[in-house]
């Protein structure tokens, strides 16, 4: 059996997220598995590094799967790109050692969030960014970032259903860049809870609008109550950008 590593880009707009849901195939995982199952002539399961939410995009989702036969990397890439829908694209296929597992071996992940911060809508990016009309106070947002960096219990900043698993994660960096009308926010950490990036960005936006003060963040984290957090940023602005192994 060969072990193949995939680098995948997708526009998540019309999908219910990465993770296959029973027999529904309106998920990225479901779409890719059904093409691979067709190629292999037997059921293939793929393991994605990150379970991106409904509507969230990826610039470089990483997944792996095992398949018999001796298909080359470019045969797998060409077959997938021929039969996948146009909003899912395989950017790279690599043969990797048998022990490689995209989820378990991931060391850190970077999410990119794009905000379009002009009065008018951006017609080309309306499905690929969140539109905030009011001018955001960037220095305040940068100050707010500092409170999230480090190891914290992120219960307040998640909608994770399970209460049994650890809610502790480490965020290494949060960077905010202004690029031609956009605000690009990059969050890098060792792992992320369900909705965590969108809730953190939602709070950064509230700080940028002057609705809450940055210094309030530590007490929200300490409360471990998700009702303490405010808005959640739109899925359309969120991209899984990079995974390190």
Nearer to its own copies, 122 or 242 (CB): 122
Q: Is 111 known to sit in a ligand binding site? A: yes
User: Which DSSP string corresponds to 162-199?
Assistant: -SSS--EEEEEEEEEEEETTEEEEEEEES---TTHHHH
Q: Which residues in this chain contact its own copies in the complex, by CB under 8 A? A: 9-11, 57, 77, 81, 86-91, 119-124, 126, 128
Nearer to its own copies, 121 or 219 (CB): 121
Closest approach of its own copies to the CB of residue 131, in Å: 9
- With contact defined as beta carbons under 8 Å apart, do 135 and 117 qualify? yes
For residue 164, count other CB atoms closer than 10 A to its CB.
6
For residue 187, count other CB atoms closer than 10 A to its CB.
25
C-alpha distance from residue 20 to each of 39, 61, 182 (Å): 19, 15, 32
Closest approach of its own copies to the CB of residue 208, in Å: 21
Closest approach of its own copies to the CB of residue 9, in Å: 5
C-alpha distance from residue 145 to each of 40, 41, 221 (Å): 46, 49, 13
Candidates 11, 25, 53, 234; catalytic one: 53
Q: 53 catalytic, yes or no?
A: yes
C-alpha distance from residue 89 to each of 6, 41, 47, 79 (Å): 10, 22, 17, 11
Nearer to its own copies, 57 or 109 (CB): 57
Closest approach of its own copies to the CB of residue 86, in Å: 5
Nearer to its own copies, 24 or 119 (CB): 119
Where does the chain have alpha helices with state H? 28-40, 73-83, 138-148, 196-208, 217-223
Residues tagged active-site: 53
* Residues of each annotated binding site for substrate: 111
Return binding residues: 111
């Amino acid at each position: 059996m060969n072990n193949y590593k995939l680098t995948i880009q997708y526009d998540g707009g019309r999908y219910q997220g990465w993770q296959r849901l029973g027999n529904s195939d309106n998920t990225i995982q479901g779409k890719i598995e059904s093409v691979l199952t067709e190629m292999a002539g037997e059921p293939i399961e793929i393991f994605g590094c990150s379970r991106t939410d409904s509507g969230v995009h990826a610039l470089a989702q990483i997944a792996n799967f095992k398949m018999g036969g001796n298909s080359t990397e470019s045969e797998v890439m060409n077959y997938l790109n021929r039969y996948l829908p146009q909003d899912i694209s395989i950017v790279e296929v690599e043969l990797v050692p048998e022990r490689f597992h995209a989820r378990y071996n991931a060391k850190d992940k970077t999410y990119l969030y794009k905000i379009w911060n002009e009065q008018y809508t951006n017609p080309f990016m309306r499905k690929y960014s969140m539109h905030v009309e009011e001018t955001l106070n960037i220095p305040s947002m940068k100050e707010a970032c500092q409170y999230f960096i480090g190891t914290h219990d992120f219960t307040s900043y998640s909608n994770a259903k399970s209460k049994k698993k650890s809610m502790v994660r480490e965020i290494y960096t949060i960077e905010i860049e202004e690029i031609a009308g956009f605000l690009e926010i990059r969050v890098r950490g060792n792992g992320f809870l369900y909705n965590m990036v969108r809730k953190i960005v939602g709070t950064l936006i509230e700080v940028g609008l002057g609705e809450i003060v940055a210094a309030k963040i530590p007490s929200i984290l300490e409360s471990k109550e998700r009702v303490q957090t405010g808005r959640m940023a739109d899925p359309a602005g969120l991209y899984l950008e990079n995974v390190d192994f």
